[in-house]
Amino acid sequence: MSQKQNEVKIDPTLQQPVVDPTIKQSVDSDVDDNALLYRPIMRPPIAVVRIQYDGEVAGETFTVRTESFRFGRTSSDAVITHDDQISGEHCELLRRRINGRWKWFLKDLDSTNGTFIRVKSARLEHNTQIAIGCFRYRFDAAPQGGISNEGAQASGEEGTKGWQIPKDSDFDQLLPGLVRQTPDGDADRYVLDKAEQTLGSLGDKCDVVLTDDRMVSSIHAQIRQNDRQQWVIEDLGSLNGTWLAIDERPLDGDTQFQIGEQRVLVKFP
């Protein structure tokens, strides 16, 4: 899976180099300064974690200097007590040295409700879980087809099913689909019967129409097959984002993730 998949909202004030105003800058404007901006070389890098305020980019900020930083509702480095959908120890930011270079990872700690990363695009495998708007969805690749025999009459020897005629809806199970999930289990299944389909709330512009979710953008995302016949979901600049459930994932840049209803921004200076 491609690692360059995360799309986040970044506070532009954090992207500017820090310049000491008391130091006089070069007066020769015709000469370009080709020096590299100072960065530590010998010590491990830091990360900046922001527990975002509701609906805002700003939030409570932590500087991570250790190899591990945990998020949870009770015993963690960042404790978020008021969200009971967050597990006691929910997920963990990890720093590891791989092939001589430092890498950051985000790992779910077997939480009850999962950890979701905001993505620009991501490959979908069978049973991949994504979140769009207020709902979660499971990608069903229909790897074995699987027409249901539910309700068939048994006849003859024990376990043998009587002859039956498939219904039109049975054939939908032979095609990939997006299954809406609820706390009580699977609900609606949206059939993906084309190589490229658009999701959103606008009925005349989208193939998968989600009019019952007010947090879904008019044209929210697209699911398509790439040149290798792999299924991919791509966010189309939606307001509230497209989110991918993870077990453990490398982070190659500034990343936004969600646990419970809390959104968190991780920035790597």
Alpha helices for 69-193 (secondary structure H): 168-172
pLDDT at 216 over 60: yes
pLDDT of residue 159: 77
Q: How confident is the model at residue 3 (pLDDT cuts 50, 70, 90)?
A: very low
Distance between CA atoms of 59 and 140, rounded to whole angstroms? 37
Which token pair is 76?
A: 């963690």
Q: How confident is the model at residue 5 (pLDDT cuts 50, 70, 90)?
A: very low
Count CA within 13 A, CB hemisphere, residue 82: 4
- Diameter of the chain measured on Cα atoms: 97
pLDDT of residue 13: 47
Q: Which residues of 73-92 are buried (b: 16+ CB within 10 A; e: fewer)?
A: beebbbebeeeeebbebbbb
pLDDT of residue 21: 61
User: 256: Cβ–Cβ under 8 A, 6 or more apart, which residues?
Assistant: 6, 8, 9, 117, 118, 241, 263, 264, 265, 266
pLDDT of residue 9: 46
Collapsed DSSP state (helix, strand, coil) of residue 267 = strand
pLDDT of residue 25: 61
pLDDT at 256 over 60: yes
- Pairing, β 196-200 against β 185-191: unpaired
Which token pair is 2?
A: 């491609």
Average the pLDDT over 246-265 and give the result.
97
Q: How confident is the model at residue 154 (pLDDT cuts 50, 70, 90)?
A: very low
Distance between CA atoms of 244 and 186, rounded to whole angstroms? 18
Mean pLDDT of the chain: 88
Phi, psi of 169 (to 5 degrees): -65, -25
pLDDT of residue 142: 87
More confident residue, 154 or 206: 206
Average the pLDDT over 49-64 and give the result.
97
Closest by CA to 93, choosing from 65, 59, 113, is 65
pLDDT of residue 7: 47
Element (H, E) at 169: helix 168-172
Asked if 195 contacts 225 with a C-beta cutoff of 8 angstroms, the reply is: yes
Tens of pLDDT along 121-139? 999 999 999 999 999 999 9
Other CB atoms within 10 Å distance of the CB of residue 155: 9
pLDDT of residue 156: 53
pLDDT at 171 over 80: no
Average the pLDDT over 144-165 and give the result.
62
Q: How confident is the model at residue 172 (pLDDT cuts 50, 70, 90)?
A: confident
pLDDT of residue 20: 64
Range of lowest pLDDT (32-36, 239-243, 261-265): 32-36
